[in-house]
């Protein structure tokens, strides 16, 4: 039964982009409705979409910022969802997918140019609301042209599935039920109603949440069939303060996914950066992403990772297991038979699953349309990868060693210029930071004339 409680919600819902990216900007495929003047806003979003033919499973990670007593989120859906089409999963699975696909840093050590054995080490990137007015909600809904198609309790959430004849009635009904719907939402609601879409409304059931305990709300999942491969993002701009980020993970059989109605561009990758960036990888990536968004005009979707799920090189985290992928909705993977008594089976990894990680920063002006997606069939692997190299510190008294010193000087200059170009950081400050971390071109010994290395006494 859908209930309206007066108690304060422990946590609420916005989709958060975790990991090494940004916590100050990101995206949402629905909008928040809060009681009265609660300062409720969503900044970051993390969504997983499983897609094969016309079947879609969406997983939405929930978090919010604000002081509302409770929250609700409203998401357009193409069909009336049955109880069995709604599920609650664990944050750890999405966190694992986030870590597996995260942009990563690799760390190399230069070999001895006079005796070239290679030493290699990799550094993984981690790298509430008052009670509603008396009277049956169904009666008040019917009077406003709103139909409550279904109502469920799923885990710690109370769910309503709504349909409506017109946006004004839907907005009025939500207001009467104690929700404060942003005025700007009406036009967007009307466009979804014109497409025949329904509305999925979720809010926390405080009693169920208390039974479960824990600090965070679990991700909500919905499964449905639709010819449209899309994510409704326009409602996410209604009560957002500034631009938002959306990190979208897609899991398909066919290969890389890209936007069909916006430009899709690979994030800058496989570039060498100064050593000190290791300790500032989060700041580096945020600055780089902001710079590339601005240079591309603000209306671009960026590919950060595209890879077959069964392996990785290098790995920021292990690939997801078959059981984890099935929990996310990858329905085409077979169940593994139970092992015979005494038999040991290696941890399973995904087969026939291709993951794409897309990242976009948007607002209503730069992304005026919902995000339409396209399966390209391209299975070429790609990752956001950033390289640091330690200089060789031993004896360089050979011709190759002296050439190495000259190239090392040039490399330090290239790394400084590359970092400044990627991030917009001041190049003088970059060079000073490099010098503090042992990458000072002025401190390198001058290469000896080549003839001094021919005959050694």
pLDDT category at 456 given cuts 50, 70, 90 is low
Residue 234, burial from CB neighbour count under 10 angstroms (0-12, 13-18, 19+): buried
Query: How does residue 44 score in pLDDT terms, banded at 50, 70 and 90?
Result: low
Residue 11 predicted with pLDDT over 50 = no
The model's pLDDT over 152-184, given as tens digits with 9 standing for 90+, comes to: 999 888 899 988 888 888 888 877 776 667 777
Q: What CA–CA distance (Å, rounded) separates 269 from 124?
A: 15
> pLDDT-based confidence at 35, cuts 50/70/90?
very low
Spatial distance between the Cα atoms of 239 and 66, rounded to a whole number of angstroms: 12
| Residue extents of the structural domains in the chain | 31-336+348-385, 391-453
Say if residues 183 and 171 touch (Cβ distance below 8 Å).
Answer: no
pLDDT of residue 248: 95
Residue with the bigger pLDDT between 33 and 62: it is: 62
Q: Which residue has the higher pLDDT, 180 or 117?
A: 180
Q: Check whether 106 has a pLDDT greater than 60.
A: yes
Give the percent of the chain with pLDDT over 90.
Answer: 40
- Contacts of residues 442-446 at CB distance under 8 Å and 24 or more positions apart, as own/partner, are 444/405, 444/408, 444/409, 445/405, 446/405
Lowest mean pLDDT across 73-87, 108-122, 146-160, 331-345: 331-345
| Residue 377 · residue 254 · CB < 8 Å | yes
pLDDT category, 457, cuts 50, 70, 90?
A: low
pLDDT-derived band of residue 271, with 50, 70 and 90 as boundaries?
very high
How many whole angstroms separate alpha carbon 426 and alpha carbon 53?
49
Query: Do 232 and 56 meet the contact criterion of CB atoms below 8 Å apart?
Result: no
């Amino acid at each position: 039964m859908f209930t309206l409680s007066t108690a304060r919600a422990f946590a609420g819902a916005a989709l958060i982009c975790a990991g090494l990216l940004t916590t100050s900007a990101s995206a949402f495929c629905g909008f928040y409705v809060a009681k009265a003047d609660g300062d409720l806003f969503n900044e970051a979003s993390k969504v997983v979409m499983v897609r094969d033919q016309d079947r879609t499973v969406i997983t939405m990670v929930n978090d919010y910022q604000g002081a509302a007593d409770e929250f609700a989120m409203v998401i357009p859906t193409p069909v009336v969802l049955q109880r069995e089409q709604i599920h609650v999963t664990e944050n750890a699975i999405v966190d694992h997918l986030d870590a597996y696909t995260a942009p990563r840093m690799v760390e190399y050590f230069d070999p001895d140019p006079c005796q070239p054995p290679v030493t290699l080490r990799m550094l993984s990137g981690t790298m509430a609301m008052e009670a509603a007015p008396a009277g049956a909600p169904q009666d008040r809904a019917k009077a406003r042209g709103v139909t409550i198609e279904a109502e469920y309790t799923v885990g710690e959430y109370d769910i309503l599935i709504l349909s409506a004849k017109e946006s004004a009635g839907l907005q009025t009904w939500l207001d009467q039920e104690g929700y404060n719907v942003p005025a700007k939402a009406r036009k967007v609601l009307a466009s979804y109603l014109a497409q025949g879409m329904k509305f999925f409304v979720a809010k926390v059931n405080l009693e169920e949440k208390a039974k479960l305990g824990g600090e965070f709300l679990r991700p909500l999942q919905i499964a449905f069939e639709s010819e449209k491969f899309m994510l409704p993002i326009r409602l996410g701009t209604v009560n957002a303060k500034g631009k938002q980020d959306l990190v979208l993970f897609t899991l398909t059989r066919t290969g890389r996914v890209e936007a069909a109605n916006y430009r899709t561009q690979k994030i800058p990758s496989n570039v060498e950066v100064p050593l000190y960036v290791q300790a500032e990888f989060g700041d580096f990536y945020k600055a780089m992403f902001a710079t590339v968004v601005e240079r591309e005009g603000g209306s671009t979707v960026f590919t950060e990772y595209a890879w077959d799920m069964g392996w990785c090189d290098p790995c920021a985290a292990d690939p997801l297991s078959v059981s984890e992928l099935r929990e996310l909705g990858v329905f085409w993977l077979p169940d593994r038979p139970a092992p015979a008594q005494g038999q040991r089976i290696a941890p399973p990894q995904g087969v026939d699953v291709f993951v794409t990680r897309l990242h976009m920063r948007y607002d209503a002006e730069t992304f005026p349309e919902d995000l339409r997606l396209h399966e390209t069939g391209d299975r070429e692997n790609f990752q956001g990868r950033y390289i640091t190299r330690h200089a060789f510190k031993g004896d360089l008294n050979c011709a190759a060693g002296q050439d190495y010193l000259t190239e090392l000087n040039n490399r330090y200059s290239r790394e400084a210029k590359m970092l400044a170009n990627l991030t917009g950081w001041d190049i003088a400050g970059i060079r000073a930071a490099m010098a503090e971390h042992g990458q000072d071109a002025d401190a390198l010994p001058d290469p000896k004339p080549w003839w001094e290395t021919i005959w050694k006494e």
